[in-house]
Amino acid sequence: MTTLCFYNHYHNGDLFVSKGFVNYICKQLHDKNITLEYLHENHPNVLADLPTQYQALSSDPIMSLHSTRLQKVFVNNNKIYVNTWAGPYLSEYTQDQVVLGIGGSINYLSYLDIFKHIINELNNITSWNLTQLSAPWQGLPEVQKISYNSLAVTDFILRTDFPLRVLISNGPVLCDQSWHNHNMIDYFLPIIEKNASIQWIFTWPTGIQYPNVAHTNDIFLQQGSRCDLNEISMLSEYCDFIIGRHSGPFHFCNTKTNLQNPNKTFISIGKHVGHAFPYQMSIPAKFYWLEDRNDSAVKFFIETLLVNSLIFHKPIT
């Protein structure tokens, strides 16, 4: 039996933004005698809704070789390995020449080209005859609610009633895609104090204790090591605004469902517009990108947009 083993040495966000493309391949192999595995070192449940078997990266000796981080698709002992980290592919499939030490900016159009490359390689070394990708929407990630705690999401929504909900991904950024890495309290505290009718939901503790402020670690109570990224993703479907830097929770909100919703507004904060995942895509959602060099300018833009939206707001149905 052949084993197809996806692997990624890096973070939750790296797993999620490539997840839909991985699933596109997996769905074409469901009736074949192929074992599907995913090697990574993040929480075992982070990709629980993929039809792959989780394996710790450290369980496969070949993954200890530094060279595997920079390989793309290779075969070893009747096992086909596919690297889903964007790094090795960026010299060929970046959308511009903005260098991050390993290549260029990365977004869903980049991943489309990366997975076209992967499918071509798999078709060259197997008889699977996989159908090629033609549009980024085919690989945008979704969260299958049955695999996660959707009841906690609906319970929270039913217990709260605000005309406008804002989800803020304010946790630390684990990549070099933001100029600053503070928890954004300076942005939001003055706005929160002036806008009690807006519900503010933070993905990282802030110490703010107001009736209109919530934190996801209080909404999603978990035992042991935490992984509420998929629950945050589901919660984001009920939020009017999604604001954040390029941390895991913000990545998990860039789903097909959210990007196709014309009532949804994203504010992406970072170093370069090419790191915004729907960069150069035509999407129904409103998507703003802000460079985070100037905190005052970022705060002014966010406050102006939120206040205007509150005046003219029609709730999400």
Dump pLDDT digits (tens) for 81-92.
999 999 999 888
d(CA 134, CA 150): 32
- Position 95 confidence tier, pLDDT thresholds 50, 70, 90: low
Q: What ranges do the domains of the chain cover?
A: 2-139, 145-311
Residue 84 CA to residue 19 CA, distance in Å, equals 9
* Rounded distance between C-alpha atoms, residue 247 and residue 19, angstroms: 16
Mean pLDDT of the 143-170 span: 93
The pLDDT assigned to 316 comes to: 36
Q: Per-residue confidence at 154, pLDDT binned at 50, 70, 90?
A: very high
**Helix, strand or coil for residue 243?**
strand
Joined together, the tokens standing for residue 59 give 């369980």
Q: Six-digit token pair at 108?
A: 């869903």
Mean pLDDT value across the chain: 89
Q: Which residue has the higher pLDDT, 243 or 1?
A: 243
**Which tokens go with 52?**
């792959």
Q: The domain at 145-311 falls in which architecture?
A: 3-Layer(aba) Sandwich (3.40)
Lowest-pLDDT choice from 4-18, 95-109, 165-179:
95-109
Contacts of residue 134, defined as CB under 8 A and 6 or more positions apart, other chains included, come to: none
Distance CA 79, CA 5 (A): 7
Cα–Cα distance, 114 to 317 (Å, whole number): 36
C-alpha gyration radius of the chain = 20
Residue 177 has pLDDT above 70, yes or no: no
The answer on pLDDT for 31 being more than 50 is yes
CB atoms within 10 A of CB 255: 22
pLDDT tens digits for range 202-246 = 999 999 999 999 999 999 987 666 799 999 999 999 999 999 988
Token reading at 102: 């390993």
The pLDDT value given to residue 105: 75
Residues present in the chain in total: 317
CA 150 from chain centre, in angstroms, equals 18
Interval 290-299 mean pLDDT: 82
Strands (E), the chain: 2-7, 34-40, 53-56, 73-76, 79-83, 164-169, 198-202, 213-215, 241-244, 265-270, 286-291
Specify whether the CB–CB gap between 42 and 11 falls below 8 A. Answer: yes
Sign of CA dihedral 13, 19, 22, 24: negative
Within its chain, how far is the Cα of 268 from the centroid?
12
